[in-house]
Amino acid sequence: MRVHIQAVNFNIDKKLVELIEKKVNTLEKFYDNIIEAHVFLKVLKTSLKENKELEVRLSVPGDDPFVKKTSSTFEDALLQSVTAIKKNLMKLKEKQREKYN
């Protein structure tokens, strides 16, 4: 699976890129047909402490699961996103099983 990472209005460090690739690649365990993943990172212009926004969009045949999470750190937002999209993939897989049974 190809992982595309885009940081909006800031430079992303190498450790964060490696963590994102590692966590997103674990999603292949839950769904085989993931073609690619797009990850967008943004720092929101707000006075709130939770100003780091992370979006994950997967390209899979027939559907494009999407999750957006906001947190105080990108690492935390990443973990929340991966957990949420994992649930979406499991639901999608279950729907496909029901469709073919």
E-assigned strands of the chain? 2-8, 36-43, 52-59, 66-71
CATH superfamily of 2-100: Ribosome hibernation promotion factor-like (3.30.160.100)
- The model carries a pTM of 0.90
Closest-CA residue to 81 (of 33, 38, 45, 35): 38
The pLDDT tens digits of the residues spanning 49-87 come to: 889 999 999 999 888 999 999 999 999 999 999 999 999
Average pLDDT, the chain: 92
Q: Would you say residue 45 has pLDDT above 90?
A: no
Residue 46 banded pLDDT, cuts 50, 70, 90 = confident
